[in-house]
Amino acid sequence: MSQIRGRFSKPADKLAALYTNSFPFDRRLYSFDIAGSMAHANMLARQGIITAEEGKQIVAGLKEVIIEFQQGKFDFKPGYEDIHMAVEARLIEKIGEVGRKLHTARSRNDQVALGSRLFVIEAIADTIKSIRAFQRTLLEVAEKNLKVVIPGYTHLQVAQPVLLAHHLLAYFEMLQRDVVRFSDAFDRTDVMPLGSGALAGVAYDIDRDFVAKELGFSQISRNSIDAVADRDFILEFESAASICMMHFSRLAEELALWSSAEFAFIELDDAFTTGSSIMPQKKNPDVAELARGKTGRVYGNLQALLTTMKGLPLAYNSDMQEDKEGLFDTADTLLSTLAVFTGMVGTLKVNAAKAREAAGRGYILATDLADYLVKKGEPFRTAHEIVAKLVNYAAKKGKSFADLKPVEYKKFSPLFGSDVFKISIETSLAARDVLGGTAPKRVKQALLKAKKMIGEAEG
């Protein structure tokens, strides 16, 4: 605010200057801002808008500035209201008046849009790479525990037996959709806005194609007003991040449940749990719990920016300065969650015996009994009613299906024969031999396909 005061007769109010200062957080964009400035300076020199020597001086000065940032030696001064003015002011200190020519044919409006896009492009690339790493870990754990059976649930009630690998592959599929979402968002972020000026374009013979190529963009913005007013690319990133965090929050919930004494399907490694300040026996799944909590904050960042943008007239408004803290927080939270879950899931231990024991509870083979009757000619709805009554009878008697005698089965349907006792968890799993089912051979096929998918993506 204090850097550009030519129009005003008195300095900015100190509180107002502090209030509008974004340098403490947007300084994080320094490498992207300087990369954009170098490309812009090279273009200005190439087009003859500044001399070749001036272009070289500017680029050399900017290289020195970026080294100061990298080494933690950049001298922050109170007058710097944002990263863009800070870099330019430091450049002028280093190379003199020629540094003032850098801002020719650009505005902070298209400059900040450029820096933000470059940041999101990098964040998306890092996110996809991290998702792939976690997917590989999921596949390793699934393959290592290919024969482990767990109870599948609906409404948190025992439903049908499934392979643990099949359950884990469900998360693989969710994350695969996340990769597609981030990749799709990348395409719309990969648009070079520099050259749009404040909102109307610039009155110089610039070469936007050159700048786009220098910075690695595949597209150039088609409308100068849209280019500086658009934050859809941040909203898309934060939306994809919110969905991805939702997936990890669901997994976090299951890891917390499965590691409890009531379930005991898994044990989380000591490195990813904490103790209690008062109860010595506790091994708390803090990492998983924090992921659930951090998911809410990522949602909040998305909602905050949606709310900020919803009433803004075109083109740029200072409200849009509020896009960055939430963006940085979302990127950091998502990447740290991906990294810590890769370690946590990769080191968990599976208690196959406990999981199998749980899979035998709750009349989990009831659907298989209904299917048994259907195969003998009973309409499914009638078979469903018969087995429901059978379950009620067994529950009142305190018996499992295996405890019932043939005569007891016959009370409910004459179609029940001695072969009913051949129904087991293994036959239940094997019967789900459909594409996408939990039959062992289908799960093996799914694992192979997932591994091939990851290999092709990384190849």
d(CA 276, CA 150): 29
pLDDT (0 to 100) of residue 94: 96
pLDDT surpasses 80 at 459: no
pLDDT (0 to 100) of residue 80: 79
CB 450 within 8 A of CB 169: yes
For tokens 């951090």, the residue is 294
N-term to C-term CA, the chain? 48
pLDDT (0 to 100) of residue 14: 78
Burial-class residue 88 by CB neighbours within 10 Å (0-12, 13-18, 19+): buried
pLDDT surpasses 50 at 137: yes
pLDDT surpasses 50 at 1: no
CB 221 within 8 A of CB 196: yes
Tell me which residues are annotated as active site: 155, 276
Give me the count of residues in the chain. 459
Both structure tokens of 185: 């968002």
Residue ranges per domain, the chain? 14-101, 108-140+159-358, 360-458
313 dihedral zone (left: phi>0; alpha: psi -120 to 50; beta): beta
> What is the pLDDT averaged over residues 124-151?
98
Please name the amino acid found at residue 287. Answer: V
Domain 360-458 in the same topology as domain 108-140+159-358:
no
- Read off the pLDDT of residues 353-387 as tens digits, 9 standing for 90 and up: 999 999 998 899 999 999 999 999 999 999 999 99
Residues whose CB is less than 8 angstroms from the CB of residue 32 and which lie 6 or more positions away in sequence, other chains included: 114, 115, 116, 118, 119, 122
> What is the pLDDT averaged over residues 410-418?
96
pLDDT (0 to 100) of residue 5: 52
Fold designation for 108-140+159-358: Fumarase C; Chain A, domain 2 (1.20.200)
CB 131 within 8 A of CB 458: no
d(CA 426, CA 429): 5
pLDDT (0 to 100) of residue 138: 97
Backbone angles phi, psi at 266, to 5 degrees: -135, 165
d(CA 90, CA 25): 18
pLDDT surpasses 90 at 281: no
Q: What is the pTM of this model?
A: 0.93
pLDDT surpasses 60 at 4: no
Q: How far is CA 57 from the centre of its chain?
A: 41
107-133 burial string, b = 16+ CB within 10 Å, else e? bbbbbbbbbbbbbbbebbeebbebbbb
Both structure tokens of 359: 């899979």
Weakest-pLDDT range from 24-38, 42-56, 184-198, 218-232: 24-38
The residues that bridge with 162 in the sheet, in sequence order, are 150
Please name the amino acid found at residue 428. Answer: S
Distances from the Cα of 140 to the Cα of 62, 177, 390, 391, angstroms:
46, 20, 41, 38
> What is the pLDDT averaged over residues 36-40?
98
pLDDT surpasses 50 at 2: no
> What is the pLDDT averaged over residues 431-442?
97
- Mean predicted lDDT score pLDDT of the chain: 94
- Read off the pLDDT of residues 88-115 as tens digits, 9 standing for 90 and up: 999 999 999 999 999 999 999 999 999 9
Weakest-pLDDT range from 7-16, 22-31, 202-211: 7-16
pLDDT surpasses 60 at 75: yes
> What is the pLDDT averaged over residues 388-409?
96
Could you tell me which of 54, 363, 135 has the C-alpha nearest to residue 62? 54
Could you tell me which of 136, 135, 144 has the C-alpha nearest to residue 163? 144
CATH of 360-458, one of 1.50.10.20, 1.10.40.30, 2.40.50.140, 1.20.120.160: 1.10.40.30
pLDDT surpasses 80 at 56: yes
Distances from the Cα of 115 to the Cα of 109, 121, 316, angstroms:
10, 10, 15
For tokens 């390793």, the residue is 140
CATH (residue range 14-101): 1.10.275.10
